[in-house]
Structure 1
Amino acid sequence: MGLLLPGGAEQLQNRGRACSRHSGPYLDREGRDLHHGGGTLVLQGNDRWPGVGHCAVYTFDGVDYLIFHGYDREDNGRPKLWILPLQWDEDGWPVAHLE
């Protein structure tokens, strides 16, 4: 449910996309094509967790989860596994927040 952007741990972001079929086009929330710079932010790191990424979405018992790793600055940058409930906004786009 996201696209990992290159640029180093401090610039990693997960961006959502939507399409009506597997072959695309892949569009962001504003209708911009991901092949031309589009992308809707789903999850972004913070001061403690500067690099979050490599995400996957799974549904267990009817609850959607965003599963990803993040680098913990308070533990010498060691990667940690995160599993967050994934919320959906009124327009059907995924929303996740680091707690």
Structure 2
Amino acid sequence: MITLTQYGRHKLIETKKNTKILYLNDREYAWVEPPSLGEILVASHKVHKTDCVLSVGDFHLYTVKDEPELSDNMHLELEVGHNAWQGYLLLTGL
């Protein structure tokens, strides 16, 4: 079963220190890369100054359970262009 849990607008920015910040509606996440885990999203509560905007568009957040062709995890899709989407598995959730 695929369940849409959240949708709305996103903005992905990068700071001068090369930190990526993802805004999903009114929530803010730092996109970090711990050495042994790969990329993860963690809640961010500080103000970040934008150096450049990487993408702006819609987003969809899904939970997936018992679908034969999909992983049972949280899935995030970001619109990265006109009808172009990039998908991410959120193994640790949001």
TM-score between both structures, scaled by the size of structure 2: 0.37
* Greater share of strand: 2
More helix by share: 1
Tell me which of the two structures has the higher relative contact order, counting C-alpha pairs closer than 8 angstroms and 6 or more residues apart.
2
